[in-house]
Structure 1
């Protein structure tokens, strides 16, 4: 019996090659998209979830109350990781973790830039980072110890074992001894690093770190498995009251910091905060694309149903004969669902071949290293489940419909469909185009927002702007460096900055001025710059002047942005007093607000101070338009002359800015691809329904042509019904898309507004696509010879 079913199924596929090919193509494309998204979601959900202590690991967070605002972030005081285990028995271990850095490693004649971090002594005891040489107890214990990855060990010393005990000079300054070699971090690790320096080294490099009022590093905790989390959070909530001198328990309405914890395994996907609470992050994209995967697969299944129904007339007499000779309905249902599952299996094979071809490009687009996990039982079971669920979902309606046909009716050749069956199929088409409309509108909105990010005026000119890290001999010879470069071709202006113009992350509440309300504590972003910064950044001074060598008092002068001027409250800030970090000075300029952080965040008050002596951060170079190549050659020559032991490293400001929005760019491209495929698959379904309708109305069309109806009128007659379905889909999809896109855009402080024309254009596009799809079958039916269609009468 089973063999007979297979024979009938293959015979049916072969007899209807075009429809079978369309069915397989539609399902294969839907499955390809869904499986690619499944692999991406699976990879996202696996990030940082391989640690043995994972359920007991937490990130310490600060909830800050300042200037009437409630914010939260992972920055904590440097000493807190050493203090918490002493005070709370629930804390088994704690480790600080600073922001990543790029340092110069020198071993014999090998000099390279390596990316790494600073971490607490218990880091390797807390996290499952296997050591191939050394021990967790001694890896980061001494001040000049150094843990490196297998990759660095093999690069500098040929093997991990040979690296132990060897010295590596960092930044051509101190030598550090390799005390441990750890296995290269897996791809699904959020914080990637190739070396770790001890926590005490971070304090040595950053004198401000000892102050409990400064936040910056992150702190991770390992808690006892039996810890009552609610009780522990209540205990640590006000821990900083006894350490941070800025917190006045009698005036908490002005300034306060509360501590709370976040599960470490949630950090990657839930990294954003809103109003002092964890608000989401990449989990939003995981949910979004999971829904898109389900929707695309649903469209493919609906497409299958419509195409199968369109061919039902060809199978009706077969069903009638089978029923006459005694076939039970359950066997007929099993047969048709079996055919659907067989076709789905073929589509899965095609989908896997497509994924094998597309996966390298998909990985390049998403920045992943995803591979097909055929060796994992879960993945194989998932594939089997997809075949079963898709086959049953796609084949259920055709199977139930065909098995319900009355043999007397179909053998008379009078196959008529009830209104309910017709409305069901029309409803399926509406669902397809609702999903397609959502994706079309989403594509337009995401594209406009990404384009807005890429083209918006930041308040400074990021074109022809280059950063060079001030390290080694460059910081010590800055004056000579600047003088030499200004004589070189391609160079327009030069200055320096302790941060990057696109990302000034440091802030402080230590600012005072005449008439300040003592009950209010305002957080100011701040940065130190050199002379000629206005020329380099091309910012706009609204009042006053830039720092100048002509004024010796500028060492205690400040430039503020518009936001800072508003918060300080001076009607005419120029010449007014401002005290920053206890250093009293004068405001000499007000610069127009410019974006120095992500467009997700509003512009913060900014204080710019002159820092021409303690040089660190970045050298900023404005190049002559069209002479970037010449400028880079000049920069490389001078840097190698003044800093010969360090590799020449540079960054373009516009590229650094684009890298801040890599996630949005990837989402935009993925949405484009998925929207196109969803529309294509939906059109296959519409093609099926048009084919079905034309087949059902063959004789009607023949009669109309005999009575003189034109081809145009018949095409209009057949197309009209489908256009109504598309219009219904537009009406349903538009408010849903408006709500979804409004929620997505709320994550940006600066964004493109939703315009009515987006919905109108998307609707028009859907109508045009539907017309083009339907017109093929409509014209074909309208051109058919009426003699052939009426011959059976």
Structure 2
């Protein structure tokens, strides 16, 4: 019997090929898009979930109350971790996590930049980076022990056994020897912790000078609590630790007018569950990604799949009119309701299966392109994940039950006598169809509106004046292959001969995100006239203001005419306001015992992304604080030739280092990659949603016109014009689209207004966005409907009147 159902289902699909193709193609596109978007969301939400002890792992951070508001920071002083472990038995393991004094590695004749991290011995007990070779018990037992990843072993040793081999790390101008004791498996691409080499934290830069200093925060700290200790319980125990070791800080905060929080504390040591750090802005290790982004991907994928299902339901209900006699005859011949449901659901199952197979093929073929366009670290291997397989099968069954089961249940309930006569109760069917169409276009309109607002915000970020000229400036990371001051000096001398070069300078902090992927910041606090002051510190070199085209408001720039000019600083307007001096040029700042005079005040410029408020900034020229980047301003004509000149000069100056130069305007654009990806996804989702909606609207219009063939013929004989007939067929559907726009508008406003709150600098949502989105939706729907209604209105009415 079941095989008979399959044969009948196949014949019906073959008979109505147009509708079958529309449904299968629409569902296949929806399956493919939903799968790709869901894979991206799965990848984002899976960050750091692979650690065996993830439920007990936390990152520490400070929550501080200041006179102007609260601040959070995850950087810690060097002595904190040992003191915390000694005083709190609730902590099972603890590890600091910082940068090495260098990333320059040497083995035999190979020299290269690798990611070197300094950690405590507990690190590999806490985190699941399995040791595949070497000492698995105490891999960092001795001071000069080193652990490397499998990738690092391949790069440095090729097929040699790395265990026991000696690797050298560069510190200043000297090389220090380390012994490889273990090899770990490579970290997965959904890990927040990344490294090529692990060494003991005692090799952290300036460790000896900082090991007893409590007011210099410069690394991250992770803890693993014992199984019977809860996060809240541990946090309640930490105030006594703060009061013991941060007495001076608490005193200064009170002096400056800071108000305690609701717990009565000015400074709290708090914890972030390690599986959350990818999404938390308090963590410097995490990406600061938004869960909104991952959940929005799931929502959009659900929208697209739902819209395709609505098409399926509407077309199935509409086609029931053409199969009314078949249904009636089956009932007269004794077919039971469950048999009719099985028949129609079987057809839905075949369609859904074809759509799923086609959709999986489309997703597989589009995956490389999708990864490139949306910058996603996805792989085909993810499709083998049991969770993903369960998601695909579960989604397939839900779609089949909803898109096939509901129409089957509706059709099987029709009155037998009415169906034999070829008449069906259209009222309820049309209400269901209309409701689903409204929901369909609500979702499409939402995506159109959201796409427009996201695009506006990104365009605002890219065009907002930043206080400096980002055009024609090349940013070049120096790396660790040679002394950075010498590299800057040699590049200055080499580029002085080039007519394309306007000016050259150096800095320790890139602007935006360069090709090296790094993003750094330096925040320091100190007392100024019995008042706490916090400022970002930026190491710059001569000609920085000229190269960046930053306006000097008062005072003077750094000048070689004053020797090294290291006893002065430049500050921005925000920093000048914080000092609260009538004339900021009279101020002298105390930094580590040095008296630094304010030489000049520059106009505020955005040295960080526009997600954050413009902050106080202090700039200085200090040789013992090395530069990390060389900035070169070039002439505006023929930029490709200019970057080639810089590249050739860099190869002459530092042949061992790769050239990773990029233009600052590209760097600032990369800062908003997350928003750009979101915009592309919204746009792609909107296009797909509208395409699938229009396919359904096209098919529904075709079926409605077939039902009204005689009516159209009679009206045409009585003198109705083509535009009148087009309007007659289209108006009911356009009213539904208009209703959808009205419903979608407040929902879209609320959602996008909430999203915009993540930007300190943001657009105001304008009314015309919603009006334009409505016009676009109505226009698309009208064009779709007109394709069939014009064709029907142009037909010979005689043929229409003769038809049954």
The TM-score normalised by the length of structure 1 is 0.93
Residue pair 1:130, 1:183 contacting (<8 A) in 2 also: yes
Aligned to 2:785: 774
Instruction: String of CA shifts for 1:612-657, please: whole Å, max 9, x gaps.
Output: 4543332322223336556555555655555555555544433333
Residue pair 2:476, 2:659 contacting (<8 A) in 1 also: no
Aligned to 1:193: 195
**Among candidates 405, 409, 426, match of residue 418 of structure 2:** 409
1:295 deviates by: 1.4
Distance across 1 between alignment mates of 2:623 and 2:469 = 23
Distance across 1 between alignment mates of 2:400 and 2:222 = 47
Distance across 1 between alignment mates of 2:53 and 2:211 = 28
1:174 aligns with 2:175: yes
Residue pair 1:687, 1:774 contacting (<8 A) in 2 also: yes
Distance across 1 between alignment mates of 2:705 and 2:240 = 74
Distance across 2 between alignment mates of 1:308 and 1:588 = 77
Aligned to 1:509: 525
Q: 1:9 to 1:237 in 2, by over 3 A?
A: farther
Q: List aligned pairs for 1:177-326, cutoff 5 A.
A: 177=178, 178-204=180-206, 207-208=209-210, 210-244=212-246, 246-248=248-250, 252=254, 253-254=257-258, 256-268=266-278, 270-272=279-281, 281-326=289-334
Which stretch of structure 1 is more off in the superposition, 119-128 or 606-615? Answer: 606-615
Distance across 2 between alignment mates of 1:614 and 1:189 = 31
1:217 deviates by: 1.0
Aligned to 2:515: none
Residue pair 2:121, 2:140 contacting (<8 A) in 1 also: yes
1:560 deviates by: 1.3
Q: List aligned pairs for 1:587-598, cutoff 5 A.
A: 587-598=598-609
**Among candidates 670, 679, 690, match of residue 679 of structure 1:** 690
Distance across 2 between alignment mates of 1:581 and 1:501 = 26
Aligned to 2:433: 425
Corresponding residue SS for 1:462: coil
Corresponding residue SS for 2:267: strand
Aligned to 1:733: 744
Q: 1:372 to 1:634 in 2, by over 3 A?
A: closer
Aligned to 2:699: 688
1:663 deviates by: 1.6
1:23 aligns with 2:53: no
Corresponding residue SS for 1:311: helix
1:48 aligns with 2:48: yes
Residue pair 2:126, 2:224 contacting (<8 A) in 1 also: yes
Distance across 1 between alignment mates of 2:61 and 2:713 = 75
Distance across 1 between alignment mates of 2:520 and 2:617 = 9
Aligned to 1:385: 394
**Among candidates 625, 631, 650, match of residue 620 of structure 1:** 631
Aligned to 2:262: none
Residue pair 1:600, 1:747 contacting (<8 A) in 2 also: yes
Q: 1:151 to 1:480 in 2, by over 3 A?
A: closer
Which stretch of structure 1 is more off in the superposition, 255-264 or 387-396? Answer: 255-264
Aligned to 1:78: 78
Q: List aligned pairs for 1:395-406, cutoff 5 A.
A: 395-406=404-415
Distance across 1 between alignment mates of 2:803 and 2:378 = 61
1:167 deviates by: 2.4
Instruction: String of CA shifts for 1:718-767, please: whole Å, max 9, x gaps.
Output: 11111111111111111111111111111011122212221111111101
Q: 1:205 to 1:369 in 2, by over 3 A?
A: farther
Aligned to 1:475: 485
Distance across 1 between alignment mates of 2:27 and 2:740 = 22
**Among candidates 764, 772, 788, match of residue 761 of structure 1:** 772
Residue pair 1:431, 1:729 contacting (<8 A) in 2 also: yes
Q: List aligned pairs for 1:632-647, cutoff 5 A.
A: 632=643, 635=646, 639=650, 643=654, 646-647=657-658
The TM-score normalised by the length of structure 2 is 0.92
Residue pair 1:105, 1:169 contacting (<8 A) in 2 also: yes
Corresponding residue SS for 1:597: coil
- Show structure 2 runs of 5+ residues with no match: 260-265, 513-518
Aligned to 1:330: 338
Distance across 2 between alignment mates of 1:716 and 1:151 = 66
Q: 1:616 to 1:302 in 2, by over 3 A?
A: same
Corresponding residue SS for 1:522: strand
1:552 deviates by: 5.3
Aligned to 2:154: 154
Corresponding residue SS for 2:749: helix
Q: CA RMSD in A?
A: 2.7
Distance across 1 between alignment mates of 2:396 and 2:58 = 39
Distance across 1 between alignment mates of 2:119 and 2:58 = 15
1:544 aligns with 2:555: yes
Instruction: String of CA shifts for 1:279-304, please: whole Å, max 9, x gaps.
Output: 98431111111111111111110011
Aligned to 1:702: 713
Distance across 1 between alignment mates of 2:672 and 2:240 = 35
Residue pair 1:299, 1:432 contacting (<8 A) in 2 also: yes
Moved over 6 A (4+): none
Corresponding residue SS for 1:603: coil
Distance across 2 between alignment mates of 1:170 and 1:367 = 34
Corresponding residue SS for 1:750: coil
**Among candidates 703, 708, 730, match of residue 719 of structure 1:** 730
Distance across 2 between alignment mates of 1:737 and 1:535 = 45
1:343 aligns with 2:354: no
Corresponding residue SS for 1:305: helix
Instruction: String of CA shifts for 1:484-539, please: whole Å, max 9, x gaps.
Output: 432344322122222224466211221414xxxx4x53321111222211111111
Which stretch of structure 1 is more off in the superposition, 94-103 or 233-242? Answer: 94-103
Residue pair 1:112, 1:647 contacting (<8 A) in 2 also: no
Aligned to 2:454: 446
Distance across 1 between alignment mates of 2:487 and 2:408 = 81
1:140 deviates by: 3.0
Aligned to 1:144: 144
- Show structure 1 runs of 5+ residues with no match: none
Residue pair 2:484, 2:626 contacting (<8 A) in 1 also: no
